[in-house]
Amino acid sequence: MGNLDAQGHLYFEGRLGGMIKTSGANVSPEEVEAAIRLIDGVIDVAVFGLPHPKLGQIVVAVACTTQASGLDEAGLRARLRGQISAFMIPRRVLFLDLDDFPRTPSNKIRKPALAMQVEPLWGDL
């Protein structure tokens, strides 16, 4: 991930995949996804980092849940407390239908495409 300025200089901001760096701590998206998948009613989830002006990145989760789960953002975050470190708990959670996750031909979630899809929804994170 990066930005190109008016003079043509490329500024590196981070990787679209891999570790999330938030407030100086490294967060493994796979570890957060594994904890979220243990919550009853979660069908699928993708975790990634989005840029934040003060923290570097924030942890974001996009989940698909069953209607019967009754999960909302606060409920999902509450269930993660005590399961994973506080800095790993997503600051933002969005719920999508399973069909709305962009996927590769091998059915893996395309996290960079998903990040670009959801980032404008939150404006200033």
Please state the domain count of the chain.
1
State the residue for tokens 């959801």: 118
Distance of CA 89 to the CA centre of its chain: 10
State the residue for tokens 């996009």: 62
Q: Is residue 29 part of a domain?
A: yes
Segments forming the whole domain that contains residue 94: 19-122
> Does pLDDT of 125 surpass 60?
no
**DSSP letter for each residue of 73-96:** HHHHHHHHBTTB-GGGS-SEEEE-
Q: Is residue 87 part of a domain?
A: yes
Q: Is residue 27 part of a domain?
A: yes
Alpha-carbon distance 14 to 22, whole Å? Answer: 12
Q: Is residue 77 part of a domain?
A: yes
pLDDT at 122: 66
Give the domain CATH number at 37: 3.30.300.30
Q: Is residue 11 part of a domain?
A: no
Q: Is residue 65 part of a domain?
A: yes
For 16-47, what is each residue's pLDDT tens digit?
A: 557 999 998 999 999 999 999 999 999 999 99
